[in-house]
A and B are shown apart, each in its own frame.
Chain A
């Protein structure tokens, strides 16, 4: 056995019979087979003892082990939900509400954190000393204080906003009040199957057009993509027109003592979202900076000597190389954001952990509730990793000859 990890695998002797399956199993299992087995059995034994203790305790408390409780009535209210939920609904539905809230926070958080983080990273690299100094201190302050403290701060800020009647209304369409943040919403009226069918056909046609061109080896740049996006929007507009449906931009408006219309984010959701976005944006800014700085300066110089414009240098030469450094690091910062969203429990946003914690307290089924938490987060993490790894594969190939 070697420390460095090099095996001294015995080479098969020429002419000897082919090694059987037993040989491969022994080779895979490695040295000290009995000791390893003993360790494994010991670990399983510890878990066995703890598990049977658990079951005994549950029986003593009059709790039935298993997931049957998920179909019982939850009897607790949840502050906000993406799907219809009443306290008389089941624990299972409550868990789904929590999971959807976590996914909503994670997806919108990753998106906004990327926007803010990339802009901050570029500002940090800008030639302007005042701006890059400001961003540097922003990053230092955010990265060197606890996230929980920042969340307490944002929670205090969103709750300290004035009442709806005196709401901040900085750009006319966005209301900030102690009832939350109201933003404009797109509302569809009289949506019918015809609308969906016509828009589906339009989008499928555009996609087919794109696939055919790609098969022929035609490169698509930003212009082609924007043209296709415009066509898709036009197609959907046509579909709405033909089927008699209408889409309206609903602006939030002050009516009486409250703000009506638009899409309302509760103060808790807003605080959690702002806190997570600000926190991750500092990390992402550093990732973007180190990624861009990892491209040798010779690349800038040669691109400039070829006569490329600064914007094109960035897009065609620097970014494709920087992204190879940036994307793997970005993956781990997305994973961190997803896991950090569990701090929602500290500021009263009903995310997965918060809902299942209440479930565990109400039903006593702590083991099952925690098992659901662990499995959900593992599934979420695996799916984020899978998407990012797929993207990473594409990026790694760019700039090389096609294989």
Chain B
């Protein structure tokens, strides 16, 4: 019976609400002019875009059907979806990258839920990263697949998550070294952080691609692993600065109280300092994670098939040649969905953490 009384969205618009809108759009003469100009601009942009995206689009069929239509060719995405998501991975083993995407999504959801925040998360991250890597490589359940054939969304998520996870311990050590009173370690840390932050990521990737094989002849790992190490080192310098800000925000009294209880350096760090320091920089960590995902596209430049490069190559297929726009719009939407939800989550978390204080 409650359904009968539910008025939810059917509530009439209140006069104040109406007033706010009218003032916001037509309050003054200038405001009216701006509203009309903006509306004109939108009317100029949106209808052709809408027609291209939806009305005139081809949803099913072949490349010939698409060529006949004037709109977007979403049939192309249907035909190439597998390639964009998994790229060169052997098609009969598709379940592996699919499971990888699922496991990483689960890991991120669990990490994002404040109820699950505890020390066990560290174990969960180590476990997931190792599992996912072995799953993709086929270490335990054969056949094994070389890293050169990994690609698509699975690779983008993998390289970002593994990069973040591996950069974390490095970054904590760098941040501690930069704040320490030991001049030798401090200097090394400062030089590393400032040099890495001062050069573009492409330069780091070129070092991994061009120099490492010359420096370690015979021992040099595969190209993807080298790119992964390059990304990890790049991220660790930025992460170290975020963590350093967190360490600075912990009151001196905390360390002194721990010392007076007889805690050693590492115990104090593990039980007292790091939990508080990391908690205070969580929003910055989320923003950095978004940055890593967006920056991971740069590995396309050195020829690795990440999501963006897979999308580009999908439109190089002779059967479906030249549907770059559709391809880019599609992967653009994937990146946007991931990053926008992460940034909304970050805002929610900031409010949540403030309320919890």
**Residues of A at under 8 Å CB distance from B?**
1-7, 28-32, 36-37, 39-40, 43, 50-51, 53-54, 56-58, 126-131, 134, 140-141, 143-149, 152-153, 156, 339-340, 342-343, 345-346, 353, 357, 360, 366-367, 370, 373-374, 377-378, 381-382
Contacts and interface: CB of A to CB of B under 8 A. Distances in A.
A154 to B, nearest CB: 11
Contacts of B181: 1, 5, 7, 30-31
A86 B300 CA distance: 30
Nearest to A342: B200
Contacts of A143: 339, 343
Given A4-B254, A146-B308, A140 B211 contact: no
Interface stretch (B50-58, B114-122, B134-142, B325-333): B325-333
A376 to B, nearest CB: 9
A58 B312 contact: no
A146 B294 contact: yes
A374 B211 CA distance: 13
Given A39-B188, A152-B328, A31 B182 contact: yes
A83 B55 CA distance: 50
A128 B265 contact: no
B25 A342 contact: no
A147 B183 contact: no
A128 B34 contact: yes
B250 interface: yes
A98 to B, nearest CB: 13
B15 interface: no
A127 B183 contact: no
Contacts of B336: 141, 144-145
Nearest to B207: A370
Given A129-B21, A149-B297, A37 B203 contact: no
B38 A30 contact: no
Size bracket of the B interface: 35 or more
B199 A30 contact: no
Contacts of A145: 294, 332, 335-336, 339
A377 B188 CA distance: 20
A131 B34 contact: yes
A23 to B, nearest CB: 14
A340 B340 contact: no
Given A3-B268, A40-B188, 9 more contacts: A4-B250, A54-B211, A145-B294, A145-B332, A149-B328, A152-B328, A153-B328, A377-B203, A378-B198
Given A3-B265, A31-B182, A130-B38, A144 B339 contact: yes
B203 A54 contact: no
Q: Which 3 A-B pairs have the closest CB atoms?
A: A36-B184, A4-B255, A129-B24
A378 B182 contact: no
A370 B210 contact: yes
Given A149-B308, A378-B199, A126 B269 contact: no
Contacts of B24: 127-129
Contacts of B312: 152
A58 B199 CA distance: 25
B215 interface: yes
B290 A144 contact: yes
Interface in B182-207: 182-186, 188, 195, 198-203, 206-207
A30 B188 CA distance: 14
A345 B299 CA distance: 12
Nearest to B331: A149
A5 B198 CA distance: 26
Contacts of B23: 127
B329 to A, nearest CB: 9
B256 interface: yes
Nearest to B250: A4
A76 to B, nearest CB: 17
Contact of B202 (A39, A53, A130, A342): A342
Contacts of B202: 342-343, 345, 353
Contacts of A30: 180-184, 186
Interface SS, A side: helix
B342 to A, nearest CB: 8
A290 B298 CA distance: 29
Among B38, B198, B335, residue most surrounded by chain A Cβ atoms (within 10 Å): B198
Contacts of B294: 144-147
Contacts, number: 181
Nearest to A377: B199
Given A127-B31, A131-B34, A346 B252 contact: no
A51 B24 CA distance: 65
A39 B332 contact: no
Nearest to B209: A366
B301 interface: yes
A327 B34 CA distance: 29
B153 to A, nearest CB: 13
A242 B179 CA distance: 64
Given A36-B184, A367-B211, A374-B195, A126 B34 contact: yes
B324 interface: yes
Contacts of B259: 2
Contacts of B10: none
A53 B340 contact: no
A53 B200 contact: no
A106 to B, nearest CB: 11
Among A56, A342, A382, the most chain B Cβ lie within 10 Å of the Cβ of A342
Nearest to B23: A127
Contacts of B340: 140, 144
Contacts of A28: 183
A173 to B, nearest CB: 22
29 contacts: A1-B181, A4-B273, A5-B181, A6-B252, A29-B183, A30-B184, A36-B182, A40-B188, A54-B214, A56-B217, A58-B214, A127-B23, A127-B27, A129-B25, A130-B38, A144-B290, A144-B343, A146-B295, A146-B335, A148-B297, A148-B301, A343-B301, A353-B200, A360-B210, A366-B206, A370-B203, A370-B206, A373-B203, A381-B198
Contacts of A126: 34
A128 B38 contact: yes
A377 B38 contact: no
A3 B210 contact: no
B248 to A, nearest CB: 8
A3 B253 CA distance: 11
B34 A148 contact: no
Nearest to B179: A5
Contact of B199 (A3, A51, A57, A339): A339
Contacts of A43: 188
A3 B269 contact: yes
Nearest to A148: B297
A32 to B, nearest CB: 6
A40 B184 contact: yes
